[in-house]
Amino acid sequence: MLQIRLIAEKLPATQGYRTMTRRPRLTTAMAQVRLAVRESLATAGLVADDLVLAAVSGGADSMALAAALAFEAQKVGIRAGAVIIEHGLQEATREVSAATARKLEALGLNPVVVREVTVGEVGGVEAAARQARYAGLAAQARAAGAKAVLLGHTLNDQAETVLLGLARGSGPRSVAGMEPETAAAGFAYLRPLLGIKRAQTEQFCLDAGIEFWVDPFNSDQKFARVRVREVALPVLEGALGPGVAEALARTAQLLREDLDLLDSQAQECFEKLVRRGPTSVVVSVSALAAQPLPISSRVIHSVVGIFGGAATKNHVDEVLQLVLNWHGQKELTLPSVRVVRHGDDLTFKSAKTLRPGAC
């Protein structure tokens, strides 16, 4: 506790630990967060003796998540641990990480690991930190043999994600927000708190007597997400009335359901239409043209992915011109793949071999 108090003394009130008075009774906020975690564990099919890790930053969302996990996991015999990612971007975070680890151990979580990562420069600080964080979480999950990593994203985070997706015009999947469960190699990411508001996690910590850290980066408006949180959403609430965050999160859920159906239909179409060769992939033009555009676009996107490419909307549209607006165009060159049409065959070839007519 001494270390936590030292941190609180060194940092302004908006940037340090908030110390809460413990209330032993079960409150509404505590019950809501625990129920969300309980349902997430059950939906994911986790059973006794499985290891689950909570990703914890020390903030209210992740501390409430970790405390709820410790309580719920013990009831069903699941082993519950935690991983703290130390980005090294702020002087205070090394001390915060150590203090948070001690608090998590006091909650009964085991193992508790502080994992240091190196944040690159590609895409800006936000994107680089996120990439490093997920790489660190994945590495720790695999090293520990964890079946799942729980993330503390809340309904507010979901609303912010939807608005950012809309503003960037990056497609319906980004507007659909974060999934409650995302498969990874060997484990799954779970987001139990997508239906829980940030105020509820803070109230959980208040009610349970749990100290949490307020990261100064979370109020730094040089970050787009912070501007959405502190400027855009309040303006929308002021203009449209309360409930905007809930409406955005609900829209994301409805859109995810539609997109999941389209993705499933596109996968069935892909399996029927795509013919793989040793170094090329062939798709029937007439069969592809007969599909609804959302399906044919997804099939093309998946085919390009076979060659290691990440097809943008512009790339998909260019390929669709060979399908729907054919007038003898020459071979199309995209990142990692070349596309050429001969009669009813649309052939995708590796871009590594650029000899005309080569497979």
Closest residue by Cα to residue 192 from 319, 54, 294: 54
Mean pLDDT, residues 147-174 taken together: 93
pLDDT at residue number 188: 98
Q: Is residue 358 part of a domain?
A: no
* CA–CA dist 185, 261 (Å, integer): 23
Mean pLDDT, to the nearest integer, of 82-102?
91
**Whether residue 233 sits in one domain with residue 121:** yes
Report which of 146, 152, 151, 153 is spatially closest to residue 187, judged by C-alpha positions: 146
- Using DSSP bridges, classify how beta strands 345-350 and 280-284 pair: parallel, antiparallel or unpaired: antiparallel
Kindly state whether residue 256 falls inside one of the protein's structural domains.
no
**Is 2's pLDDT higher than 90?**
no
Whether 266 maps to a domain, the answer reads no
Mean pLDDT rounded to a whole number for the chain: 89
d(CA 250, CA 52): 28
Q: Among 231, 249, 267, where does a domain finish?
A: 249
Same domain as 312, residue 164:
no
Same domain assignment for residues 107 and 206:
yes
Query: For residue 68, what is the domain's CATH number?
Result: 3.40.50.620
231 and 104 both lie in a single domain: yes
Q: What percent of the chain has pLDDT over 70?
A: 91
Closest CA to 218 of 133, 138, 156: 156
Tell me what the mean pLDDT of segment 278-291 comes to: 94
CATH number at residue 337: 3.30.465.60
* Reported pTM: 0.82
Place of tokens 């043209």: 289
Query: What pLDDT was estimated at residue 104?
Result: 97
Number of domains in the chain: 2
Average pLDDT over residues 314-324: 94
User: Does residue 103 sit within a domain?
Assistant: yes
Radius of gyration for the alpha carbons in the chain, expressed in angstroms and rounded = 24
357 in any annotated domain: no
pLDDT at 4: 35
Q: Which range of residues forms the domain containing residue 235?
A: 2-249
Asked whether residue 141 carries a pLDDT value surpassing 90, the answer given is yes
Q: Are residues 93 and 240 in the same domain?
A: yes
Q: Is residue 355 part of a domain?
A: no
229, 297: one domain: no
In a domain, 240, yes or no: yes
pLDDT band with cut points at 50, 70 and 90 for residue 14: very low
Do 119 and 183 share a domain, yes or no?
yes
- Do both 210 and 297 map to the same domain? no
34 and 114 share one domain: yes
Residues 242 and 294 in one domain: no
